[in-house]
């Protein structure tokens, strides 16, 4: 920037892997990040980046992690919804853990969160 301070932009693309919340298959989400930060000395809270320290060092890792957490969907699920639903039906037919009733719902209604996964939604990311 013309006067002292920084205008920063972070762009990255990454794949996030995990088990699908619905069918438990391996799921990969390709996520693109485009984040901006402004840090201006004496600019007040609005213009102070939490990722730039007093020595003008930028914590790229913390910034990237926070931006990714904000951008990701709340639940990790297969990008291919049709294949996912087919696997859920197959699981139900194999008598998977009382999920059989889900397959009988008309129009593929939104499946509820399996209680075994409910704990996952309570996960918090902290600064430690």
Give the single-character DSSP code of 52.
B
Quote the distance between the C-alpha of residue 73 and its chain's center: 4
CB of residue 61 to Zn ion, shortest distance in Å = 30
Give 52 or 78: the residue with its C-beta nearer to Zn ion.
Answer: 78
Quote the distance between the C-alpha of residue 28 and its chain's center: 11
CB of residue 27 to Zn ion, shortest distance in Å = 6
Contact 60, 116 (CB under 8 A): no
CB of residue 30 to Zn ion, shortest distance in Å = 16
3-state secondary structure of 39: strand
Tokens at residue 102, please? 């889900």
Give 49 or 88: the residue with its C-beta nearer to Zn ion.
Answer: 88
Give 20 or 67: the residue with its C-beta nearer to Zn ion.
Answer: 20
Block residue for tokens 């600019």: 43
CB of residue 117 to Zn ion, shortest distance in Å = 12
Provide the binding-site residues for Zn ion, judged by CB under 5 A.
20, 22-23, 78, 84
Give 52 or 84: the residue with its C-beta nearer to Zn ion.
Answer: 84
């Amino acid at each position: 920037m013309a006067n002292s301070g920084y205008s920063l932009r972070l762009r990255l693309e990454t794949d996030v892997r995990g088990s699908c919340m619905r069918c438990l298959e391996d799921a990969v989400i390709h996520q693109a990040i485009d984040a901006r930060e402004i840090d201006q000395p004496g600019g007040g809270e609005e213009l102070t980046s939490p990722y730039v320290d007093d020595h003008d060092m930028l914590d790229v890792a913390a910034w990237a992690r926070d931006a990714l957490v904000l951008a990701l969907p709340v639940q990790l699920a297969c990008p291919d919804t049709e294949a996912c639903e087919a696997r859920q039906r197959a699981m139900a037919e194999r008598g998977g853990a009382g999920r059989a009733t889900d397959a009988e719902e008309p129009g593929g209604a939104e499946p509820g969160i399996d209680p075994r996964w409910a704990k996952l939604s309570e996960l918090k990311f902290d600064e430690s």
